[in-house]
Every structure is written in C-alpha cells, then in structure tokens.
Amino acid sequence: MIEIRTPGEVNEMRAAGEFVASVVTATAAASAVGVNLLTLDRLASDMIRKRGATSSYVDYHPSFGASPFGKTICLSVNDAALHGLPHDYVLRDGDVLSLDFAASVNGWVADSAITVIVGTPRDEDLALVDVTARALEAGIAQARPGNRMGDISAAIGAVAHAAGLSINLDFGGHGVGRTMHGDPHVPNDGRAGRGLPLRAGLVFAIEPWFMLGTDRIYTDKDGWTLRSADGSRAAHFEHTIAITDGAPLVLTARR
C-alpha cells in the first residue's frame, strides 16, 4: 500500500534521515586499507546504541535472505553488488566498498548508501562510482509533483546507458516509512511519463546500483551477498527523499 505522509510526518522523519546520514558518513570515513569489515559493522552498531535507534537489518529476514541478516550495515566489496553480509575481511588497496545502512528513529525509518574506493583507485572504478552517483542525482531531480515514477527511472537509466552500462531490474528503490521496504517500487530504468503520479507526501528511497560488465547476479554462499555474475565490480548509491510541493527533500543528505 502506498502511503502519503503529512508535512508533520515528513518533518518527524528528518531525525531518522540525519542519523542514517551520520552513520554512512562515519563508516565511509573509517573505511581504509587494513580495516576489517567487522570493525565497520561494530562502529555502526555502537552508533545505533548511543542514539537509541533501532537497526533495520539485524532481524531482517525477507524471502530472498537465507536467514535473518544478523548485522547492522551492508558492506559489499568489489564484485559484491548488494546486501553484502559483513564478515572477517580486511580491506585492501583498491577495493571498491559499498555501504548501505538503514535504521529507525522514533518509529521512522531512513535508508541510504554510498560507494567509496579504498586506497589507490583504478580509473574504471572511479568512472563507475561517478556514473552511479550521477544517476542518483538525476533521479532525485525528477522527484517533483506532476512527474511520474517513470521519469525518475528513465533519468537513472539514461545516465547508465550513456556510460555503456546494462541495468539489473531485480532490485531498486522502494517506499520508506514505518518499515524499511514498502511501496512504491522505484526501478532503475523505465519510460518517462509512465507509472505512478508523484505527489507531495510520497517518501521513498532512490537507489541506482550498476555493475561494470553485466546485469546478471548470483547469491553468495552466505545466503545474502549478491555478486556480479562475471566478477566485475559494482557501485551503489541511495538516498531517502520526500516529495514536496517544490524541490525534493533529501532526508539522508550527508553534511
């Protein structure tokens, strides 16, 4: 069910957005050569505890997960595209790391993701990260009353296609509110002028994710991590936004 939030409810969601942004910023800043993924997960967990927030991931067990997630942040390295389950892995020079985090504050959820390159970057990785970030911005720019969901999807897809990337449509953006995942679905490609009419009070996450060499994925033996079928690297960006009567409000904007 698609829910329309009142201006007061959108205002209440700001606290969750600011907190999620602060965790994504802190964990990204702490990502360096020699740092263990479990250390980053503990950092996110400690920030949740200190804030009195609630993890959206620890007990999360959707149909596509083999078991409850059990960690507090998704950490996807190199060919891991989405849902990376933190494990005993030490970051190496040149690793591409996507950090995806969601939490609830005062009953409202926000969700955000960012991709960083650890240490010395490769040109092709820099280009992939740049394209994915620009696709997110292009999608957000279309999140205005009078447009349709297809305008957001088409804007995201146009950036990827211009860079020669193919797009997997199995996972995309989603409604955000009292729970982490809800309606509407926000595909990362589509046709402009089609789909759900956008109106003030809609709150959802826009999250482009692309892989360098393929649009096919498989599930790692950990039951969660989704990897590119050809081993190529991936990038992932996400913001939770609210449609207003004017410009979109990015609830998870990072300072």
pLDDT given for residue 59 in this prediction: 93
pLDDT given for residue 66 in this prediction: 87
pLDDT given for residue 240 in this prediction: 98
Architecture field, domain 7-250: Alpha-Beta Complex (3.90)
Q: Which residues of 114-128 are buried (b: 16+ CB within 10 A; e: fewer)?
A: bbbbbeebeeebeeb
pLDDT given for residue 32 in this prediction: 98
Place of tokens 């933190």: 86
Q: How far apart are CA 234 and CA 131, in angstroms?
A: 11
Give, for all 255 residues of the chain, the pLDDT tens digit: 899 999 999 999 999 999 999 999 999 999 999 999 999 999 999 999 999 999 999 999 988 888 999 999 999 999 999 999 999 999 999 999 999 999 999 999 999 999 999 999 999 999 999 999 999 999 999 999 999 999 999 999 999 999 999 999 999 999 999 999 999 999 999 999 999 999 999 999 999 999 999 999 999 999 999 999 999 999 999 999 999 999 999 999 998
pLDDT given for residue 214 in this prediction: 96
Tokens of 248: 């979109």
